[in-house]
Protein backbone atom coordinates (compact mmCIF):
# COMPACT_ATOMS: atom_id res chain seq x y z
CA UNK A 1 0.00 0.00 0.00
CA UNK A 2 1.26 3.47 -0.89
CA UNK A 3 -0.23 6.19 1.25
CA UNK A 4 1.87 9.19 0.30
CA UNK A 5 -0.09 12.17 1.60
CA UNK A 6 -0.43 14.26 -1.55
CA UNK A 7 -2.50 11.62 -3.36
CA UNK A 8 -5.06 11.35 -0.56
CA UNK A 9 -5.33 14.84 0.92
CA UNK A 10 -8.77 15.47 2.36
CA UNK A 11 -10.05 11.92 1.97
CA UNK A 12 -12.12 10.12 4.61
CA UNK A 13 -9.01 8.96 6.47
CA UNK A 14 -7.67 12.50 6.68
CA UNK A 15 -11.00 13.71 8.04
CA UNK A 16 -10.95 11.12 10.81
CA UNK A 17 -7.31 11.51 11.81
CA UNK A 18 -7.33 15.31 11.69
CA UNK A 19 -10.49 15.62 13.76
CA UNK A 20 -8.84 13.42 16.38
CA UNK A 21 -5.67 15.53 16.20
CA UNK A 22 -7.65 18.74 16.61
CA UNK A 23 -9.54 17.39 19.63
CA UNK A 24 -6.32 16.34 21.36
CA UNK A 25 -4.73 19.75 20.73
CA UNK A 26 -7.85 21.47 22.04
CA UNK A 27 -7.58 19.49 25.26
CA UNK A 28 -3.89 20.28 25.61
CA UNK A 29 -4.62 24.00 25.25
CA UNK A 30 -7.04 23.87 28.16
CA UNK A 31 -4.01 24.30 30.44
CA UNK A 32 -1.80 27.37 30.20
CA UNK A 33 1.44 25.37 30.43
CA UNK A 34 3.25 24.97 27.08
CA UNK A 35 3.38 21.66 25.25
CA UNK A 36 5.14 20.12 22.27
CA UNK A 37 3.79 18.36 19.19
CA UNK A 38 6.02 15.86 17.37
CA UNK A 39 4.71 14.77 13.97
CA UNK A 40 6.70 11.72 12.89
CA UNK A 41 5.55 11.44 9.26
CA UNK A 42 4.63 15.01 8.47
CA UNK A 43 4.40 15.13 4.66
CA UNK A 44 4.48 18.62 3.15
CA UNK A 45 1.99 20.22 5.53
CA UNK A 46 -0.29 21.80 2.93
CA UNK A 47 -1.84 20.38 -0.23
CA UNK A 48 -3.41 21.88 -3.33
CA UNK A 49 -6.56 20.03 -4.30
CA UNK A 50 -5.84 21.00 -7.91
CA UNK A 51 -2.32 19.53 -7.92
CA UNK A 52 -1.62 16.57 -10.18
CA UNK A 53 -1.55 14.08 -7.31
CA UNK A 54 -4.92 15.19 -5.94
CA UNK A 55 -6.47 15.35 -9.42
CA UNK A 56 -5.46 11.76 -10.13
CA UNK A 57 -7.50 10.41 -7.25
CA UNK A 58 -10.02 13.17 -6.33
CA UNK A 59 -10.36 11.38 -3.00
CA UNK A 60 -11.14 14.62 -1.19
CA UNK A 61 -14.54 14.70 -2.90
CA UNK A 62 -15.40 11.46 -1.10
CA UNK A 63 -14.02 12.84 2.17
CA UNK A 64 -14.10 16.45 3.29
CA UNK A 65 -16.06 17.26 0.13
CA UNK A 66 -19.11 15.37 1.44
CA UNK A 67 -19.48 17.47 4.56
CA UNK A 68 -21.00 20.63 3.08
CA UNK A 69 -24.04 18.72 1.83
CA UNK A 70 -24.29 16.66 5.02
CA UNK A 71 -23.94 19.05 7.97
CA UNK A 72 -23.54 17.51 11.44
CA UNK A 73 -25.57 18.15 14.57
CA UNK A 74 -24.82 21.22 16.66
CA UNK A 75 -22.89 19.09 19.16
CA UNK A 76 -20.68 17.49 16.50
CA UNK A 77 -20.23 20.81 14.70
CA UNK A 78 -18.80 22.28 17.90
CA UNK A 79 -16.42 19.35 18.33
CA UNK A 80 -15.04 19.46 14.79
CA UNK A 81 -15.00 23.26 14.46
CA UNK A 82 -11.25 23.74 15.21
CA UNK A 83 -10.41 21.56 12.19
CA UNK A 84 -13.42 22.33 10.00
CA UNK A 85 -13.13 26.13 10.24
CA UNK A 86 -9.52 25.96 9.05
CA UNK A 87 -10.48 23.65 6.18
CA UNK A 88 -13.28 25.92 5.01
CA UNK A 89 -10.99 28.94 4.89
CA UNK A 90 -8.26 27.15 2.93
CA UNK A 91 -10.63 25.37 0.55
CA UNK A 92 -12.24 28.71 -0.35
CA UNK A 93 -8.93 29.92 -1.76
CA UNK A 94 -7.77 29.59 -5.35
CA UNK A 95 -6.46 26.99 -5.75
CA UNK A 96 -8.32 25.23 -2.92
CA UNK A 97 -5.98 23.89 -0.27
CA UNK A 98 -6.22 21.17 2.36
CA UNK A 99 -4.24 21.38 5.63
CA UNK A 100 -2.07 18.45 6.56
CA UNK A 101 -1.31 17.64 10.19
CA UNK A 102 1.62 20.13 10.47
CA UNK A 103 -0.50 23.02 9.21
CA UNK A 104 -3.34 22.05 11.53
CA UNK A 105 -0.97 21.75 14.50
CA UNK A 106 0.55 25.15 13.76
CA UNK A 107 -2.90 26.73 13.51
CA UNK A 108 -4.21 25.23 16.74
CA UNK A 109 -1.21 25.85 19.00
CA UNK A 110 -0.02 28.97 20.78
CA UNK A 111 3.11 31.10 20.92
CA UNK A 112 4.43 29.15 23.90
CA UNK A 113 3.99 25.75 22.24
CA UNK A 114 6.63 24.08 20.06
CA UNK A 115 6.33 21.88 16.97
CA UNK A 116 8.73 19.30 15.50
CA UNK A 117 7.97 17.86 12.06
CA UNK A 118 9.84 14.79 10.78
CA UNK A 119 9.72 13.71 7.13
CA UNK A 120 11.84 11.07 5.40
CA UNK A 121 11.00 11.77 1.76
CA UNK A 122 13.51 14.41 0.52
CA UNK A 123 11.09 16.20 -1.83
CA UNK A 124 8.34 16.36 0.79
CA UNK A 125 10.81 17.49 3.46
CA UNK A 126 11.93 20.34 1.20
CA UNK A 127 8.35 21.48 0.63
CA UNK A 128 7.66 21.19 4.34
CA UNK A 129 10.60 23.50 5.11
CA UNK A 130 9.29 25.98 2.59
CA UNK A 131 5.84 25.98 4.16
CA UNK A 132 7.30 26.73 7.59
CA UNK A 133 10.37 28.78 6.65
CA UNK A 134 9.39 31.67 8.94
CA UNK A 135 8.01 29.65 11.80
CA UNK A 136 9.98 30.36 14.97
CA UNK A 137 8.04 27.72 16.88
CA UNK A 138 8.66 24.96 14.33
CA UNK A 139 11.55 22.67 13.54
CA UNK A 140 11.67 20.47 10.42
CA UNK A 141 13.86 17.36 10.54
CA UNK A 142 14.58 15.21 7.48
CA UNK A 143 15.13 11.52 8.17
CA UNK A 144 13.64 8.29 9.42
CA UNK A 145 11.14 9.03 12.19
CA UNK A 146 12.03 6.01 14.30
CA UNK A 147 15.72 6.97 14.27
CA UNK A 148 14.91 10.60 15.15
CA UNK A 149 12.21 10.09 17.77
CA UNK A 150 14.31 8.79 20.70
CA UNK A 151 16.42 11.95 20.60
CA UNK A 152 13.30 14.10 20.83
CA UNK A 153 11.96 12.46 23.98
CA UNK A 154 11.14 13.48 26.58
CA UNK A 155 10.43 17.03 25.36
CA UNK A 156 11.50 19.89 27.65
CA UNK A 157 7.86 20.84 28.27
CA UNK A 158 7.02 17.33 29.55
CA UNK A 159 3.57 17.78 28.00
CA UNK A 160 2.38 17.10 24.50
CA UNK A 161 1.62 14.73 21.66
CA UNK A 162 3.48 12.40 19.34
CA UNK A 163 1.37 12.10 16.17
CA UNK A 164 2.23 9.00 14.11
CA UNK A 165 0.81 8.76 10.57
CA UNK A 166 3.09 6.53 8.46
CA UNK A 167 2.68 6.09 4.67
CA UNK A 168 2.42 2.28 5.03
CA UNK A 169 4.71 1.68 2.09
CA UNK A 170 6.59 -1.10 3.88
CA UNK A 171 5.27 -4.55 4.77
CA UNK A 172 6.63 -4.29 8.33
CA UNK A 173 5.01 -0.93 9.17
CA UNK A 174 2.83 -2.28 11.99
CA UNK A 175 5.81 -3.98 13.61
CA UNK A 176 7.93 -0.84 13.28
CA UNK A 177 5.23 1.23 15.00
CA UNK A 178 4.88 -1.21 17.89
CA UNK A 179 8.65 -1.35 18.39
CA UNK A 180 9.01 2.41 18.06
CA UNK A 181 6.26 2.99 20.61
CA UNK A 182 7.87 0.63 23.08
CA UNK A 183 11.15 2.54 22.83
CA UNK A 184 9.39 5.92 23.04
CA UNK A 185 7.43 4.98 26.15
CA UNK A 186 10.63 4.02 27.94
CA UNK A 187 11.76 7.62 27.49
CA UNK A 188 8.43 9.40 27.91
CA UNK A 189 5.74 7.27 29.51
CA UNK A 190 3.25 10.08 30.19
CA UNK A 191 3.07 11.59 26.70
CA UNK A 192 0.04 11.31 24.45
CA UNK A 193 0.65 9.12 21.39
CA UNK A 194 -1.87 9.03 18.52
CA UNK A 195 -1.32 6.43 15.78
CA UNK A 196 -3.21 6.22 12.48
CA UNK A 197 -3.45 2.94 10.53
CA UNK A 198 -5.32 1.54 7.51
CA UNK A 199 -7.74 -1.37 7.81
CA UNK A 200 -7.16 -4.00 5.13
CA UNK A 201 -6.52 -7.44 6.62
CA UNK A 202 -8.19 -7.66 10.04
CA UNK A 203 -5.77 -10.30 11.29
CA UNK A 204 -2.85 -7.89 10.96
CA UNK A 205 -4.84 -5.04 12.55
CA UNK A 206 -5.89 -7.19 15.52
CA UNK A 207 -2.33 -8.41 16.02
CA UNK A 208 -1.13 -4.82 16.09
CA UNK A 209 -3.81 -3.87 18.63
CA UNK A 210 -2.72 -6.70 20.93
CA UNK A 211 0.92 -5.58 20.76
CA UNK A 212 -0.01 -1.99 21.58
CA UNK A 213 -2.31 -3.10 24.41
CA UNK A 214 0.65 -4.82 26.04
CA UNK A 215 2.69 -1.60 26.17
CA UNK A 216 3.20 0.21 29.51
CA UNK A 217 0.66 3.00 29.03
CA UNK A 218 -2.05 3.64 31.59
CA UNK A 219 -4.96 4.01 29.15
CA UNK A 220 -5.19 3.04 25.49
CA UNK A 221 -8.19 3.99 23.34
CA UNK A 222 -9.09 2.53 19.93
CA UNK A 223 -11.24 4.38 17.37
CA UNK A 224 -12.01 2.70 14.04
CA UNK A 225 -14.25 3.46 11.07
CA UNK A 226 -15.17 0.72 8.58
CA UNK A 227 -16.85 1.70 5.33
CA UNK A 228 -17.91 -1.80 4.34
CA UNK A 229 -20.03 -4.46 6.00
CA UNK A 230 -17.79 -7.19 4.55
CA UNK A 231 -14.04 -6.77 5.02
CA UNK A 232 -11.76 -7.66 2.07
CA UNK A 233 -7.98 -7.65 2.03
CA UNK A 234 -7.79 -6.25 -1.53
CA UNK A 235 -9.17 -2.81 -0.58
CA UNK A 236 -8.98 -0.11 2.04
CA UNK A 237 -11.97 -1.08 4.20
CA UNK A 238 -11.51 1.78 6.62
CA UNK A 239 -8.98 3.16 9.06
CA UNK A 240 -8.39 3.61 12.75
CA UNK A 241 -6.50 5.43 15.42
CA UNK A 242 -5.07 4.19 18.68
CA UNK A 243 -4.45 6.85 21.32
CA UNK A 244 -2.18 6.18 24.29
CA UNK A 245 -2.79 8.30 27.39
CA UNK A 246 -5.77 10.10 25.77
CA UNK A 247 -7.21 13.28 27.28
CA UNK A 248 -10.15 12.94 29.64
CA UNK A 249 -13.50 12.46 27.88
CA UNK A 250 -11.94 12.11 24.43
CA UNK A 251 -13.76 8.79 24.11
CA UNK A 252 -17.15 10.49 24.60
CA UNK A 253 -16.29 13.11 21.97
CA UNK A 254 -15.18 10.51 19.45
CA UNK A 255 -18.37 8.52 19.97
CA UNK A 256 -20.41 11.54 18.87
CA UNK A 257 -18.07 12.27 15.95
CA UNK A 258 -18.01 8.63 14.87
CA UNK A 259 -21.80 8.41 14.76
CA UNK A 260 -21.71 11.26 12.25
CA UNK A 261 -18.77 10.05 10.15
CA UNK A 262 -19.77 6.38 9.79
CA UNK A 263 -22.89 6.86 7.61
CA UNK A 264 -21.27 9.80 5.82
CA UNK A 265 -18.36 7.70 4.54
CA UNK A 266 -20.11 4.30 4.29
CA UNK A 267 -19.86 2.33 1.06
CA UNK A 268 -22.11 -0.44 2.37
CA UNK A 269 -24.92 0.03 4.87
CA UNK A 270 -24.41 2.77 7.45
CA UNK A 271 -20.74 2.12 8.12
CA UNK A 272 -19.33 0.78 11.36
CA UNK A 273 -17.60 2.45 14.30
CA UNK A 274 -15.53 0.60 16.88
CA UNK A 275 -14.66 2.66 19.93
CA UNK A 276 -13.24 0.73 22.85
CA UNK A 277 -10.52 0.64 25.46
CA UNK A 278 -7.59 -1.62 24.77
CA UNK A 279 -6.43 -0.79 28.28
CA UNK A 280 -8.02 1.10 31.13
CA UNK A 281 -6.49 2.09 34.44
CA UNK A 282 -7.60 -0.11 37.28
CA UNK A 283 -10.24 1.49 39.45
CA UNK A 284 -9.25 1.88 43.08
Residue pair 41/164 in contact by the 8 Å Cβ criterion: yes
Please tell me which residue in 107, 113, 165, 259 is annotated as part of the active site.
165
Is 39 tagged catalytic? Answer: no
Cα 120 to Cα 247: distance, rounded to the nearest angstrom: 29
Cα dihedral 195, 189, 132, 144 sign: negative
Nearest to 211 by CA among 263, 165, 175: 175
Cα 25 to Cα 29: distance, rounded to the nearest angstrom: 6
Cα 109 to Cα 147: distance, rounded to the nearest angstrom: 26
The catalytic residues are 165
Amino acid sequence: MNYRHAFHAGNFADVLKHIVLARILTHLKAKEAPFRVIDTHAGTGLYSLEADEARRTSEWRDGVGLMAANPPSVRVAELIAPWHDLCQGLMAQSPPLYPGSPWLAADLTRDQDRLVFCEKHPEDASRLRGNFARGKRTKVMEGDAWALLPGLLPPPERRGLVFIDPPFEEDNEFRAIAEGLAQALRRWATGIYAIWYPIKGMREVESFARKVAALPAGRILRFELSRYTVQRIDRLNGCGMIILNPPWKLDEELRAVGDYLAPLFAKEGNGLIRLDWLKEEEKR
